[in-house]
Amino acid sequence: MPIRITGLNSGLDTEAIISALVSSYDYKTEKYKKAQTKLAWKQEAWKSLNTKIYSFYKSVGNLRLSTAYDIKSTISSDSTKVTVSAGSGAPNGTQKLNVLQIAQAGSLTGAKLVDGTKGSTTLKDLGYDGSDAKFQVTVNGKKKEISVNADTTVNEVVGKLKDAGLHANFDEANGRFYVSARNTGKEGDFKIEGLDENGKKALKSLGLDTANGANKIDGQNAKIKLNGVEYEGSSNSFSINGLNLTVQGVTGDGDENAVTITTNTDTQAIYDKIKDFLTQYNALVNEMASLYNAETAKGYEPLSDEEKEAMSEAEIEKWEQKIKDSLLRRDDSLESVLNAMTSSMSQGIEIDGKTYYLSSFGINTLGYLDAPKNQHYAYHINGDEDDLATSGKEDKLMAAINSDPDTVVTFMQKLATNLYNSIDEKMKATSLRSTYTVYNDKEMASEYSDYTDLIKKWEEKLQKQEDYYYQKFAAMETALSKLNSQTSSLSQLFGG
């Protein structure tokens, strides 16, 4: 921006005059800037809402599947022997389990070494007087050769055992090596043996020789018997016909020692899943209704820099929030997706020749007269103790789940499918919007770009007009300067 000094000869407020002359251009420029700002705010409002709709859409998608409601509860009569959880495929009923043997990892407790043995103690300090020695560690059938000598320290031996695939530690307080397999079961077991005479001597000096005080416990598999059928595994966890079992103690064989496992449909979990779905739905449609029915912001437009200078930060924030709150008021796209969702929720669903509605299970809206503002689309469960509006009514939903869970689940699956499809239809890509978007994001992006071009165009026009008038006034000032100079000369001439 050039620095201009004007009005020296004419005494005119050239800046103000030119500003008035180009005001129409300035008005157009500010008009498009404000429109673009408002559009940017609307894009952000839609992005935020679209994220919530898409998240709900994915959640509803999961509720179309029967596995979402195939929730089981299971109880073990002795959780000290076995803990159990049930997957979707677990049959209802009672089963008998005997734990014959629990899986354990192979372990070796070394013989006690001389007092004062530390991690820095060498094999020579422990009495080994040979040269280079070799011993072998076999883990899960894989062999690893270890080399040591008289200068090898206890800590170095620990590191070599770990490198060979074992858990290893030297406990200075007890003066012993503690070695164990990394996995339970037979296959995970290990063996340590000298490959030569020096290797055997080295193991003995380290207290790792079972023939000289080290105690080895072999790894073993777990063995159980479920309903009379025996199973064996390398870990203490079993998955059998939908049951997830973790055995912890031996029961012994026979029915008199068996643990009873009882599995039933978890009616409370199904109820909670339906309630959670309605909570999500209500939060979303309430927000959408509030945005659609927002108060008008007529007369409010984004502020120019000059307008902001005359206001406090709090006043600016309040002014702009008024506009932002009204951006989706009476929005056609919002109305379309809201209508699609509410229509899907109110449809009847036929099951075995009978038509059911949400109201068939005691789930209703409060109606326009009783519902709080912008919450007339929200659904309430009769008898829900957390809902003050309906807690005192008969709990038809839980009664239906207890008496006929299959019908309730089938209804919810079909309801979720209808709702999912209605949102999916609104999220399909078009020339105006992208995939998984319920508003015309492409159209808005194009409009934003158009505003950028318009603003640039009118800024150039404004600059051109300002330059034109400044040149005219500059010429006038030059002419006045010459006239003043001539007048002064004539005055001096006649005055002399």
Q: What is the DSSP letter of 92?
A: S
- Cα angle 72, 73, 76 (rounded to 5 degrees) comes to 135
The pTM (predicted TM-score) of the whole model is 0.71
Residue 266 and residue 135 in contact, taking contact as beta carbons nearer than 8 Å: no
Q: What is the DSSP letter of 361?
A: G
pLDDT score recorded for residue 22:
56
The mean predicted confidence, pLDDT, of the chain is 91
The token duo for 168 is 């290893």
Percent of the chain with pLDDT over 90: 79
Per residue in 125-156, pLDDT (tens digit) is: 999 988 899 999 999 889 999 999 999 999 99
Per residue in 99-131, pLDDT (tens digit) is: 999 999 999 999 999 999 999 999 999 999 888
Per residue in 305-340, pLDDT (tens digit) is: 889 999 999 999 999 999 999 999 999 999 999 999
List the one residue out of 274, 318, 276, 277 whose CA is nearest residue 300: 318
List the one residue out of 330, 363, 329 whose CA is nearest residue 345: 363
- H-run or E-run covering 107: strand 107-109
pLDDT score recorded for residue 391:
94
Say which range, 355-359, 385-389, 474-478, has the weakest mean pLDDT.
Answer: 474-478
The token duo for 6 is 């004007």
